[in-house]
Amino acid sequence: MVITIASGKGGTGKTTVAVNLAYMIAQDAQHPTWLVDCDVEAPNAALFLKPEFIEEKSVERLLPVINHDLCTACGVCVRACASNALAIAGGKVLFFKELCHACGSCALICPESAIREEPELVGEMHKGYSGPLHFAQGTLEVGFSSPTPVIRSLKKWILPEQSDDIFILDASPGTSCPVVETMRGSDFVLFVTEPTPFGLHDLKLVVALNEKEFNLPAGIVINKSGENDALIAQFAQEKRLPILMRIPLSRHFAEAYSSGILLAEDSPALGGDFIDLFHKIKLHATKEKT
């Protein structure tokens, strides 16, 4: 079972929920459990779970290299490029690496076979353990703007086609390509939000993304829960999204978080709530499937 933790807005507690949920499921020891940090631009789950890495792998993309001796500057590759990464000027093809999406079209279509592809390092992946919990993360190389290939490779490396293991995927904030790539193929998506107008606004965006792209069974966790919860509850009711857990706004939790302490370890009662959350997710994921 694959559960994606998403939020729309950053700073709502997505990683907090992901690491605590994964930690508690693993402690429960009923299923082999994985935490996969797919926020490859800023992976931070490791700060809380302090994993020991045992294996690493690099992620590469293939970039075109133009052989100017063979190139006749016919312009076929320029027209084939959907990313405007190629131009033809002064009888020569120019290549702009920053715009290239590494689709390979130019190399395929070149009638003179003047384009070959060479690998470029775009990220790294690590896997290991944090106690009984399996842990994996991807890291985008500094200076690169597209995290999607790293997320795709990470999921390919870690997630088998069929498995009874539990995989908790920590997505990046927002609603753009990296979040779509993380959610793809999941069995359930858990939206972590906060009861503020900003939290609600971005929750609406990520809920709309799920409705449009995948329509995965979904539920909500309200973090920093308190007197303004109605803001979220009203929207949840409209969308028929269950509120599966509330984590109270608490200075103590904020202090524990800022010291890299797992809330579930710090507060056994809250730990129990995460186990409840997991059972509710299982229920909703299977109920909505049938």
Partner 1 sequence: MKIVISLEENNGLDSTASTIFGRCPFFMTIDPTSMAFEIIENPARQASGGAGIQAAQWVLNQGAATVISGNLGPKAFDVLSAGSAAAYRHEGGSVTDILKAFEEETLECLLAPNTSAHTGTL
> Which amino acid is located at 108 in the chain?
L
Helix (H, G, I), strand (E, B) or coil at 55: strand
289 binds partner 1 (CB under 8 A): no
249-280 burial, b for 16+ CB within 10 Å, e for fewer?
bbeebeebbeeeebbbebbeebbebbeebbeb
Closest to partner 1 by CB, 75 vs 131, is 75
Closest to partner 1 by CB, 17 vs 93, is 93
215 CB-contact burial (10 Å; exposed 0-12 / middle 13-18 / buried 19+): exposed
Interface with partner 1 in residues 230-249 (CB under 8 A): none
Number of amino acids touching partner 1 (CB under 8 A): 12
Interface with partner 1 in residues 80-109 (CB under 8 A): 83-85, 87-90, 92, 94, 96, 99
Q: Which stretch binds partner 1 (CB under 8 A): 43-51, 78-86, 190-198, 240-248?
A: 78-86
Helix H or strand E segment including 127 = strand 115-130
Q: How far is the CB of 27 from partner 1 (least distance, A)?
A: 45
Structure tokens at 39: 């926020």
Residue 245 CB: number of other CB atoms within 10 A?
23
Q: How far is the CB of 96 from partner 1 (least distance, A)?
A: 6
For the chain, give me the number of helices (H) and strands (E)?
A: 11, 11
Closest to partner 1 by CB, 145 vs 290, is 145
Contact predicate 247/269, CB 8 Å: no
Closest to partner 1 by CB, 181 vs 273, is 181
Q: How far is the CB of 84 from partner 1 (least distance, A)?
A: 3
Closest to partner 1 by CB, 30 vs 83, is 83
Q: Summarize as ranges the residues that interact with partner 1 (CB under 8 A).
A: 78, 83-85, 87-90, 92, 94, 96, 99
